[in-house]
């Protein structure tokens, strides 16, 4: 392969790389635009939706990873008559 052919091949490869990077950037920009359009605006204090729309999904999180300490457990026992 001559020097001229190697230079031409390198130029073609560079053009291919630029084209591939352009396509990746374009897909990324379209994805970001669609994602930004779906962000729900919320009140900074209450974290409630500003548009007052109530979503259909409800999540209840119960944290049972930390047991009560001895003092808190005895106070609950006094109040409720049973242990938590």
Q: For residue 53, what are the contacts with CB-CB under 8 A and spacing of at least 6?
A: none
pTM of the model: 0.45
The CA distance from 35 to 27, in Å, is 12
Read off the pLDDT of residues 28-38 as tens digits, 9 standing for 90 and up: 999 988 888 77
pLDDT for the residue numbered 68: 65
- Higher pLDDT residue, 14 or 55? 14
Highest mean pLDDT among 23-27, 39-43, 46-50: 23-27
CB atoms within 10 A of CB 35: 9
């Amino acid at each position: 392969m001559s020097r001229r052919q190697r230079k031409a091949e390198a130029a073609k490869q560079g053009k291919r790389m630029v084209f591939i990077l352009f396509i990746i950037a374009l897909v990324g920009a379209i994805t970001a635009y669609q994602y930004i359009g779906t962000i729900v605006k919320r009140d900074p204090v209450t974290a409630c939706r500003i548009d007052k729309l109530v979503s259909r999904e409800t999540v209840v999180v119960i944290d049972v990873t930390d047991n009560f300490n001895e003092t808190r457990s005895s106070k609950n026992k006094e109040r409720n008559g049973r242990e938590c």
